[in-house]
Amino acid sequence: MKKPNTFTCKLDLNLKDQLLKDLKEFGFSFTKPNYTIFKANKKNVVVVLYESGSLVVQGKEKDEFIEFYLEPNILKSFKFSHPHAHVSMVSRIGVDEAGKGDFFGPLCIAGVHADEDSIKKLIQANIRDSKKISDKEILKLAGIISKLCDHEIIRLFPEKYNELYLKFKNLNSLLAWGHVTVIDNLHKKTNCKNVIIDQFANKSVVENLVKRKKLDIDLEQRTKAEEDPVVAAASILARASFVKGIDELSKKYEIKLPKGASRTVIDFGKKFVAKYGPDYLEKVAKIHFKTKDNILNDD
């Protein structure tokens, strides 16, 4: 997996003197810009320690500096050079959604169950957060995940989505229903109790529904849960389902529906309404979005 150009971490400032001493011995030169304890420069490596404790490393030889000096001698952690060594191999279910912020197209919620062997294979396949992957690669990776892991997908096309939104009257309640339904189905299929989802609302929203359904699971809700390979796999399946869904609608109406909810989407929506009429919006779009009003109002 390609590493980022800049490495940033929090450093215990009790270690600053040791870091400074070592960098001097390595032949770094020093300056002190505003808000820093020091900035150390050497050919192909720049190290900046801020007063806040943030440590930033850049340069062509950054990776070697971190792997062979910073991690073993200062950080005592190898999350940068060996990120997957810290991934839990405990069997678990991961759940994520796609299409929530897109005016056109379906809402898709996917769940993946992976045991130790499957988790290793997901890592080997470079499964990662779907937001960092092109749609073309998403479809390819989704095929790999589908063969590797038990999975469940709920895809709500706009007509059904709009009907359910009127029932739930709240997007988070609708999302919670979708997540818990996916979890319930996978739990019954696999007997796995460990569940991780990407937190999208107050934790009580999902927890209360889990209690009402009397699900015997250990639920973890966390932000940036896609950093977990099993949740990342779910995010990829959800995104692939969304991509396929919006393509199906585009073919049905012989017009390529755009993603997102931007000004471009509004302009396109006006063209769609001009061709099909306003009543057809609910067949292709999530009509509780303010985007609908922007499309139907003359401006």
CATH of the domain at 27: 3.30.310.10
Q: Distance between CA atoms of 44 and 116, rounded to whole angstroms?
A: 39
Structural domain ending residue among the three candidates 61, 85, 109: 85
- Kindly report, residue by residue over 148-195, the tens digit of the pLDDT: 999 999 999 999 999 999 999 999 999 999 999 999 999 999 999 999
Q: Is residue 194 part of a domain?
A: yes
Q: Distance between CA atoms of 182 and 179, rounded to whole angstroms?
A: 5
Residue range of the domain that includes 80: 7-85
Q: Is residue 143 part of a domain?
A: yes
User: Helix 135-148 to helix 116-124 angle, to the nearest 10 degrees?
Assistant: 160
Structural domain ending residue among the three candidates 41, 69, 85: 85
Q: Is residue 278 part of a domain?
A: no
Q: Is residue 24 part of a domain?
A: yes
Question: The whole model's pTM is what?
Answer: 0.75
Same domain, 64 and 130: no
- Kindly report, residue by residue over 14-72, the tens digit of the pLDDT: 999 999 999 999 999 999 999 999 999 999 999 999 999 999 999 999 999 998 999 88
Band of residue 126 on the pLDDT scale cut at 50, 70, 90: confident
In sequence order, what are the residues at sequence separation of 6 or more whose Cβ sits closer than 8 angstroms to the Cβ of residue 115?
91
Q: Are strands 194-198 and 92-98 parallel, antiparallel or unpaired?
A: parallel
Q: Return the pLDDT at 129.
A: 85
Question: What is the rounded (10 degree) CA torsion for 1, 114, 148, 235?
Answer: -60
Same domain, 81 and 152: no
Same domain, 52 and 98: no
Q: Is residue 277 scored above 90 in pLDDT? A: yes
Q: Are strands 194-198 and 218-222 parallel, antiparallel or unpaired?
A: parallel
In sequence order, what are the residues at sequence separation of 6 or more whose Cβ sits closer than 8 angstroms to the Cβ of residue 252?
none
CATH number at residue 105: 3.30.420.10
- Kindly report, residue by residue over 203-256, the tens digit of the pLDDT: 999 999 999 999 999 999 998 899 899 999 999 999 999 999 999 999 999 999
Q: Return the pLDDT at 1.
A: 47
What domain count does the chain have? Answer: 2
Inter-residue contact 279 to 271 (CB < 8 Å): no
Same domain, 75 and 196: no
